[in-house]
Amino acid sequence: MSVLIKDVVSHIKTKSVLKNDSAFIDNVSIDSRSPQNNASTLFFALVGPNHDAHIYLLDLINKGVSYFVVHYIPEELKNKAHFIVVENTLAALQEFASYYRGLFRFPVIGITGSNGKTIVKEWLNFLLSPDYNIIRSPKSYNSQVGVPLSVIAINEFHNFGIFEAGISTVGEMEHLQEILKPTIGILTNIGSAHDEGFRDISQKIKEKLKLFTEVDVLILNKNKTIEAFLAKEIKTFTWSTQDRSANVFFQIREYESNSDLNITFNQLCFKVSIPFTDDASIENAIHCICTMLYLNYSQEVIQQRISDLYPVEMRLKVKNGIYNCTLIDDSYSSDFQSLKIALDYLENQKQHKKRSLIISDIFQSGLTDEELYSRIAQLIITHKINRVFCIGATISKFKSKFLNATSYDSTDEFITSFESIDFSNETILIKGSRQFEFEKIVSFLEEKTHETVLEINLNAISHNLNYFRSKLQSKTKLMAMVKAFGYGSGSFEIAKLLSHHKVDYLGVAFADEGIELKKAGIETPIMVMNPEMTSFDAIIQYNLEPEIYSFRGLKAFLKIADAKKLVKYPIHIKLNTGMNRLGFDTAMLPELVEILKSTKRLEIKSILSHLASSDITEHRDFTLKQIADFERDSSFLMKELNISTIRHICNTSGISNYPEAQFDMVRLGIGLYGVANEAHEQMYLENVGTLKSVISQIRVIQAGESVGYVRRFVADKPTKVATIPIGYADGISRKWGRGVGYLLVNGQKAPIIGSICMDMLMIDVTNINCVEGSEVIVFGKDLTVSIIAEAIETIPYEILTGISARVSRIFYRD
């Protein structure tokens, strides 16, 4: 990209005149953290319900960024940079992307639908890339922000585009159509995703079809309901497994590990085999076949390429590696745009100072090899990569451009040399094209754990955080609770994410949790909610802030503070307003005031209390009395001590049910992790943790045979039994066994039979299509911890925090 600022200004709705508009920009950014921000960057300061990028402008100016698109100019920054003032910075970004898209004339596929968009896009890229230089949406960049960023990545060498477009409510698709201007449309399907954003299914169909108002052709499953909403001038290319009047007719035969598709198209009749048996993959493959038929590919090419389709890994994962390494696994795709995204993600991993990059040949960049690897070399320098392992014949030719680079002709050659390479105490980004099979490298580098994993969706945590922030008054601060290993999810990665989102405090239960976060580089203030007196020295050493809830604890901390000659060390005073667990009672406050007045060693950073029943409607009067008592007692302390400090009493349910009690700060706990205490609120939260395992073994037992200890399940008919390597030592309650609970296998309920063992449990998979190695969901989006908790008469907190540390946590972003 190389665009004159004056061309940007002339194509967006500006409210001011830019004096210096003769400069060129070659990078557009919305991420203040990206090391790719430089003097040639145009930064769009996006504003949302819970974020405002204008607060980062000074940092960006100090990094050398000169040109900004803003909604307003902060008073202290006037004359320090070049500002383009607009009414709406997101609209300006979209207007610029629409202008930029218009500079290029080549076929563009636009894909929308409720499911399958990313898979179809990635498969089409694989199928068509031998014949075109393709630009495509990276990852799932299909939103109001993601689509313009995807389009802005087009360069003069591209000659084909594949982009996906997703919407969640009315009025969004028109903007995406203006940006993409697709010439070929694909409608994958209309399902239930984001139903809450539409009045009914008819409105949803109409909105999605707005992407295709100017296409040359729309590829879709023949459907009278959908076609009734299409404008007559839109040409369709339909397929069906039922209606032979469709342009392409498919007959499907499924086998154990693959499916045959018998295709009838015009005068052609031929068969294609795909390595999938599930309905979603078959439908996605059909859309790809129809696209190839429309583009006049021969049946021989279609047969050969379709048979090579592969499962798409749609997300970047963070994993524990050998010798205290952290792995960023992005080993299934390698193009320039996704490399930039992965490197920006690497930049946010502060656990290790040392960084390595394992990278394969890059394909489909649209650039010459010389220009491509020169740009990659610059990215590597910008992101402070310590060493680079180049794998592939092409990238190896350019290894001299990279600092501290080693080259290998193939993945196997790298693996052969593996023992001679020292990998330890570092972050390793693994970025490779699929044909290089970098999953082999991941296998060598990954810390060996058993096959049960807890996957943590970091995007979902961000969503849930922003949802609760939207309920807060503009000046209300937020403390995010990461105690109990992040409610079982893993505190370090989550703390990093929350620090990026600029939460005001992190809350932990005990000092050792806070110490680990500080050691890992977390700079956000950390409050220790239940400090043990034996930990006070360590709390001070690591600049943690203790909650003080008793005279015994206060006097012990003061003794240490006197010995260390501390001045105004931050502490937090806990009041008991009815929880009757920890805290100073009302009658204790005069004595507390006298002690605090007598010392300069301490500074009260906040006064807090804890609501006992904020989620129980029947206890509303009790909760209101707690709030009133807290108002009275905290006001007494502030008046007597002549201080103004932060006050907080609301937990997750308090945020939702008692907005009048936000005071100066709230504490967000279980809601951050996707669990609402109120049923009506659950629909607005996203699932964070998915506990999954695999089938170790399958056997068929006959009537009269038993399963497990004490023969607690006896079959009354032939039963197919699957053994899963997860048990009560991993945190699965024995109450969930013996027919009470179930797991999900291929989306179907598989009852747990017999007693849950220490390391294993058994399920009934009779009539479920599965094999040894098939994935099993223990809990997640469709089988929530709330469902399990209700069935075994406990609370979701216990389910989440009970997952054993031996279960590997894998963090990812969609």
Q: Which residues are catalytic?
A: 483, 709
Return d(Cα 393, Cα 407) in angstroms, integer. Answer: 9
Question: Six-digit token pair at 755?
Answer: 């007693």
Tokens 């103004």 correspond to 644
Backbone angles phi, psi at 753, to 5 degrees: -115, 145
Question: What does the H/E/C string look like for 540-592?
Answer: HHCCCEEEECCHHHHHHHHHHHHHCCCCCEEEEEEECCCCCCCCECHHHHHHH
CA separation for the pair 301, 285 (Å, rounded): 14
Nearest to 146 by CA among 167, 123, 116: 167
Q: How far is CA 361 from CA 18, 387, 397, 512, 788, in A?
A: 42, 16, 10, 44, 47
> Could you tell me which of 109, 89, 188, 185 has the C-alpha nearest to residue 150?
109
Q: What is the CA radius of gyration of the chain?
A: 29
Q: Are 119 and 350 in contact (CB under 8 A)?
A: no
User: Which of 216, 148, 210, 191 minimizes the C-alpha distance to 11?
Assistant: 148
Residues paired with 218 in a beta bridge? 185, 236
Task: For the beta carbon of residue 232, count every other beta carbon within 10 angstroms.
Answer: 5
User: Could you give the residue ranges of the DSSP H alpha helices within 63-197?
Assistant: 89-101, 117-128, 146-151, 173-180
Cα(678)–Cα(676) distance, rounded to whole angstroms?
A: 5
Residue 182 CB contacts under 8 Å (≥ 6 apart), including other chains: 108, 109, 110, 163, 211, 212, 214, 215
Q: Between β-strands 719-724 and 713-714, what pairing exists: parallel, antiparallel or unpaired?
A: unpaired
Residue 237 phi, psi dihedral angles, 5° rounding: -130, 100
From 147, 140, 121, 204, select the one nearest 170 (Cα to Cα): 204
Q: What values do phi and psi take at 457, rounded to 5?
A: -90, 105
Residue 458 has φ and ψ, to the nearest 5°, of -70, -35
Phi, psi of 91 (to 5 degrees): -60, -35
d(CA 584, CA 609): 9
Cα 726 from Cα 736, distance rounded (Å):
13
